[in-house]
Structure 1
Amino acid sequence: MTLTDVPGIHLGHDSAGDTGVTVVVAPAGAVGAVDVRGGGPGTRETDLLAPHNTVERVHAVTLTGGSAFGLAAADGVMTTLETRGIGFPVFGPDRPGPIVPIVPAAVIFDLDVGDPGNRPTAASGSRAVESALGGADAASASSSVGAGCGATAGRVRGGFGQAVARVGEWTVAAGVVANPVGEVIDAATGRLFGAPSLPPVDPAAFGALGASGAKLNTTIGVIATDAPLNKAQATRVAMVGHDGIARAVYPAHSPMDGDTLFTMATGDGSGVGVAELAELSAAAAECVREAIVTAVTTAEPGLSLSTWGELRKRDSGQV
């Protein structure tokens, strides 16, 4: 189950070994919102998503590696959407004229993994959009893909993860790049903070990795739903979604993280009741938590980073 289970949502990646881009596209537009909790964010076009500002709908969200350099990927996303006729009609829907795709973006810091000179570009963003809209089998991909290629989660390799839930007639999903400064594994027990019921790693093996070398990291992602959220409600969902980061990462939202979550709601924007909003918000938090767990548990070996899976095999004597 993936983000694309939400009607109107498309997902694409461009991977370049030690960095990459992930793009969530809503060709018909989606009510957009954002909440930033980390102390060191790298973002683009987030001010327009404030509930009191004019623009209601976004056409894509770009998640990218490369630190601030990676924001260039959003240029390619915009250009490619424009060529496909996707964007905001400047002179109104019934008058010919230019269109402007609305594409907020957020970055992770991955310059300390692999080659720091290898950064996503506008071409990377363009390829990710083509992947999303071209029918490529990118939607089901998780872990070491797209913006998750160079992600680290404390002392182990992070990545890109997804999770989906149903709330009544609506679908809620999250796609998260897990790249926190904080740990996802409890050093005392070897268990994942976000999934303590899963088998633990050997605490001694985890401890042997030494202290986390991460000084600048972040967790970023998109919560998507087909519920008819208005802009203020979409903002609330993004806010509560951060509870999922706090359940899976310790500590979360540090001064060195840039934790940023977007909401994309593909409904008609008419709004939901307070009780429904509470349920949708709670589901969003759980999806974010589960997506982080998925990113970590499916991480692939590489880039001289240890993975949760490798530590589990060592504990069970398989390697």
Structure 2
Amino acid sequence: MTGHPDHHRAAPGNRITDVAGITVGHHHRLDAEVGVGGDGPDDPPGFGWATGTTVVRIAAPTPDGPAPTVAVDVRGGGPGTRETDLLDPSNTVTTAHAIVLSGGSAYGLATADGVMTELEAQGVGLPMDRHGHVVPIVPAAVIFDLPVGQWTRRPDADFGVHAVRSASADFEIGSVGAGTGARAAGLKGGLGTAGRLIDSGPAAGIRVGAVIAANPVGAVIDPDTGLPWGATAADLRRFGLVHPNADDLRDLSTIAAKQTVLNTTIGVVATDAVLAPASVKRVAMAAHDGLARAIHPVHSPLDGDTIFAVATGARAVEPSPQIPPGMNPEAVVLAEICRVAAEVAREAIVSAVVHARAVADIPAYTEVAPSVLG
């Protein structure tokens, strides 16, 4: 492998949309010429468009099946979110019809309005009366990408409309959607995905997948190896990576020292199992372990790290006879789903960074260190 093309598609068998009921759509604007705004009073402002929105659409896998169950876990010190309180397992609503991941900082939360409007036009939402009125449930989280490009050029409701309309099983990864203006410390961040079919044990046959917009304050590359933090041998084979040469390792170390602030990693992890709301919350919590393996440091006071979890309900979970009365009967299967949720969240971050391409003067990992591609 000598290089990556500008655009990459998520590979079937290793993407969140392999989970029944999940589709993904993007809308972004990225100008041919774009400049990053500086932080100092004498620095020139940014220019051009470099931002976008990703929508994860959620549907019951079968028309007469149970509604998917949705939860969220927020761990960053500076989150930008919408409808996260609604998803507390102690509250009444247990589902969502789409989840929005967007650039634009708090301004980008407006994209969820467009998603709601489009879903309402399609008759999708919580049915509220006999006249067909619905209220779509659309939680959202945003990343801080305002200095990448012009500050006032940020996603709005129209971005949400276009993104949800484009949702399908086949979608792009890298510097697209919510990852268009993302950064990962001194490198270009992006949007990545991963998925697994659990092939053995009590959770055999259940799928778990993740899509992550990686925009962390912390580093995603180990300065000692020049490879993504926690990369396994399987990761290296999957992404075609090898240890970089000495020159590239030195360049990576220099870039990695350039930290950014006011960032965030956000995403969705999904499974096709039937799970109770509290169990889905546990899946979201476990996915943060994947962030911790791929980002150093993680969950800082300047990040807004937020992970949503979805159980679409395509596969029933059999209660384990090992679980005594008075305990969650899903616990044995849930433990395995949580283990895999952490794995796919970590790999999705690696996917985002490996497939990102440079935007403005933010260099991409594989462009700073081309020798990692062998």
Looking at structure 2, the residues matched to 194 and 24 of structure 1 have their Cα atoms a distance apart, in angstroms, of 27
SS in 2 for 1:226: strand
Alignment correspondent of 1:11:
24
Q: How far is the alpha carbon of 1:57 from its aligned partner? A: 0.9
Alignment correspondent of 1:157:
188
Any residues of structure 2 matched to 1:228-239 within 5 Å, and which? 228-239=274-285
Alignment correspondent of 1:22:
54
**Is the Cα–Cα contact under 8 Å of residues 185 and 256 in structure 2 kept in the other structure?**
no
CA RMSD, 1 decimal: 1.9
- Range that drifts further, 216-225 or 28-37: 28-37
**Is the Cα–Cα contact under 8 Å of residues 272 and 315 in structure 2 kept in the other structure?**
no
Paired letter, 2:349: I
SS in 2 for 1:240: helix
**Is the Cα–Cα contact under 8 Å of residues 266 and 307 in structure 2 kept in the other structure?**
yes
**Is the Cα–Cα contact under 8 Å of residues 184 and 214 in structure 2 kept in the other structure?**
yes
Alignment correspondent of 2:239:
none
SS in 2 for 1:24: strand
Q: TM-score, normalised by structure 1?
A: 0.92
Q: Which runs of 5+ in 1 are unaligned?
A: none
Looking at structure 1, the residues matched to 256 and 281 of structure 2 have their Cα atoms a distance apart, in angstroms, of 38
Which of these residues, 286, 291, 298, is aligned with residue 355 of structure 2?
298
SS in 2 for 1:139: coil
- Range that drifts further, 240-249 or 298-307: 298-307
Q: Which runs of 5+ in 2 are unaligned?
A: 1-11, 31-49, 61-66, 199-203, 237-241, 319-329
**Is the Cα–Cα contact under 8 Å of residues 213 and 266 in structure 2 kept in the other structure?**
yes
Looking at structure 1, the residues matched to 223 and 59 of structure 2 have their Cα atoms a distance apart, in angstroms, of 44
Which of these residues, 121, 145, 154, is aligned with residue 119 of structure 1?
154
Looking at structure 2, the residues matched to 182 and 301 of structure 1 have their Cα atoms a distance apart, in angstroms, of 18
Paired letter, 1:225: T
**Percent of matched pairs sharing the same residue:** 51
Looking at structure 2, the residues matched to 235 and 270 of structure 1 have their Cα atoms a distance apart, in angstroms, of 18
Looking at structure 1, the residues matched to 372 and 100 of structure 2 have their Cα atoms a distance apart, in angstroms, of 37
Q: How far is the alpha carbon of 1:26 from its aligned partner? A: 1.3
SS in 1 for 2:166: helix
Paired letter, 2:176: V
Alignment correspondent of 1:313:
370
Q: How far is the alpha carbon of 1:270 from its aligned partner? A: 7.2
**Structure 2 residue 354 is matched with structure 1 residue 288:** no
SS in 2 for 1:69: helix
Residues 226, 310 of structure 1: alpha-carbon distance in 2 compared, 3 angstrom cutoff = same
Q: How far is the alpha carbon of 1:97 from its aligned partner? A: 4.1
Q: How far is the alpha carbon of 1:189 from its aligned partner? A: 2.8
Alignment correspondent of 2:92:
54
Looking at structure 1, the residues matched to 314 and 74 of structure 2 have their Cα atoms a distance apart, in angstroms, of 25
**Is the Cα–Cα contact under 8 Å of residues 230 and 270 in structure 1 kept in the other structure?**
no
Q: How far is the alpha carbon of 1:230 from its aligned partner? A: 1.1
Q: How far is the alpha carbon of 1:300 from its aligned partner? A: 1.3
Q: TM-score, normalised by structure 2?
A: 0.79
**Is the Cα–Cα contact under 8 Å of residues 230 and 271 in structure 1 kept in the other structure?**
no
For the pair shown, the structure with the greater C-alpha radius of gyration is: 2
Which of these residues, 143, 146, 154, is aligned with residue 174 of structure 2?
143
**Structure 2 residue 212 is matched with structure 1 residue 176:** yes
User: How many residues matched?
Assistant: 310
